[in-house]
Amino acid sequence: MSGYIRQLVWTALLHVFLPSASAAPPGDAASMAYQREVVATLTDASGSGVLGVRSSASQRAAAADWIATQFGRLGLRPQRHEYRRKNVNPVVDLLLAPYRGTNVFAVLEASDSAAPHVILGAHYDSVPDSPGAIDNATGVALVLDLARRLAVRPDRRFHYVLVLFDQEEDDEVGSRAFVDYIAAQGWPVHSAHVADLVGWDEDGDRAVEVQSPGAMLEGHYRRAADARGVTLHVTRGASSDNRSFLDAGYPTAGVWEEWDHDDSTPHLHRASDRLETVDFGFLASTTALVYDVLLDMETADRDTD
């Protein structure tokens, strides 16, 4: 299929699945169609010259604009968190400009205004010269698809903060700034869930790694994975924006393909990290897993009332 025809086919499919947010079914088929469109657009798979690499200030700004339109399309109000952060070493500030960037987020409110916040995040920037399909258009697609599913859910038990971070590839500057923003807002945080590299599954086992979730979140992830018949590996450390939330003391799950289990993209940070390498079945399966985790958390929250 030519890129143009492919675009038309996906657009037609999306009109089936997305006539409006309220009519969107929550199944994996709808996720796959929607997520393919997100990754194709962010990586500029059709070669239109819009978007693609998301590294320079102007490239990142174009991606942020597109993400904001996606929130609008799902019926959410997009918000921009524009930040400016000094370099860690103040002397470096004399040599290099301070960091500037934009996190794009939307809040789906709970029925109870006093409910805690659950953060669902992923970075949207890429390294220079890479279209960053798996790293991390897949994470963006996971978060946007959760927005699509949660938007039609009545009686939400948490305020869901759906956030796409700028500048993960620069020492996670965007998510660090967002953690400060959360503190300034005074939001009580139940937990954070951060996806990075969720599009590779060469062995086809749908297994997922969850990094440093802590006991409470590990319980929710294990229950959801067992119910789906998916292997869950718990790993240590923090390799992405999940570090910003762990450092702030929040229960935080980093969601990954099998990075520590030898089944992760070989195209990381290369020009070949393209749409064609993404396993959309794995992405949809992993998105559904996180969604089930959220439902499990809501049930536990209800039981403690």
Binding of Zn ion by 55 (CB under 5 A): no
- Part of the chain binding Zn ion (CB under 5 A), chosen from 11-19, 127-135, 157-165, 248-256: 127-135
- Part of the chain binding Zn ion (CB under 5 A), chosen from 68-76, 79-87, 112-120, 133-141: 133-141
Among 44, 125, 196, 201, binds Zn ion (CB under 5 A): 196
When the beta carbons of 139 and 251 are compared against Zn ion, the nearer one is: 139
Shortest Cβ 182–Zn ion spacing (Å)? 21
Q: How far apart are CA 118 and CA 159, in angstroms?
A: 6
Shortest Cβ 168–Zn ion spacing (Å)? 5
Q: How far apart are CA 83 and CA 194, in angstroms?
A: 20
When the beta carbons of 165 and 250 are compared against Zn ion, the nearer one is: 165
- Part of the chain binding Zn ion (CB under 5 A), chosen from 65-73, 80-88, 102-110, 195-203: 195-203
Shortest Cβ 127–Zn ion spacing (Å)? 9
Among 37, 44, 125, 135, binds Zn ion (CB under 5 A): 135
Binding of Zn ion by 264 (CB under 5 A): no
Closest CA relative to residue 135, chosen from 48, 199, 79: 199
Shortest Cβ 27–Zn ion spacing (Å)? 27
Shortest Cβ 119–Zn ion spacing (Å)? 17
Computed on alpha carbons and rounded to an integer, the radius of gyration of the chain in Å comes to: 18
Number of residues that bind Zn ion (CB under 5 A): 3
Among 43, 136, 244, 264, binds Zn ion (CB under 5 A): 136
Please name every residue paired with 167 in a beta bridge, in sequence order, or none if there are none: none
Asked whether the beta carbons of 194 and 176 are under 8 A apart, the reply is no
- Distances from the Cα of 136 to the Cα of 36, 129, 150, 219, 254, angstroms: 13, 14, 21, 26, 13
Can you state the angle between helices 280-303 and 28-42, rounded to 10 degrees?
Answer: 120
Binding of Zn ion by 244 (CB under 5 A): no
Owner of token pair 């390294």: 127
When the beta carbons of 110 and 177 are compared against Zn ion, the nearer one is: 177
Interstrand relation of 189-195 and 117-123 (parallel, antiparallel or unpaired): parallel
Shortest Cβ 236–Zn ion spacing (Å)? 18
When the beta carbons of 76 and 198 are compared against Zn ion, the nearer one is: 198
Burial tier of 114 (Cβ tally within 10 Å: 0-12, 13-18, 19+) = exposed
Binding of Zn ion by 241 (CB under 5 A): no
When the beta carbons of 17 and 178 are compared against Zn ion, the nearer one is: 178
Binding of Zn ion by 125 (CB under 5 A): no
When the beta carbons of 145 and 257 are compared against Zn ion, the nearer one is: 257
Q: How far apart are CA 61 and CA 67, in angstroms?
A: 10
DSSP state of 203: T
Q: How far apart are CA 11 and CA 152, in angstroms?
A: 21
Q: How far apart are CA 102 and CA 70, in angstroms?
A: 16
Shortest Cβ 246–Zn ion spacing (Å)? 16
Footprint on this chain of Zn ion (rule: CB under 5 A):
135-136, 196
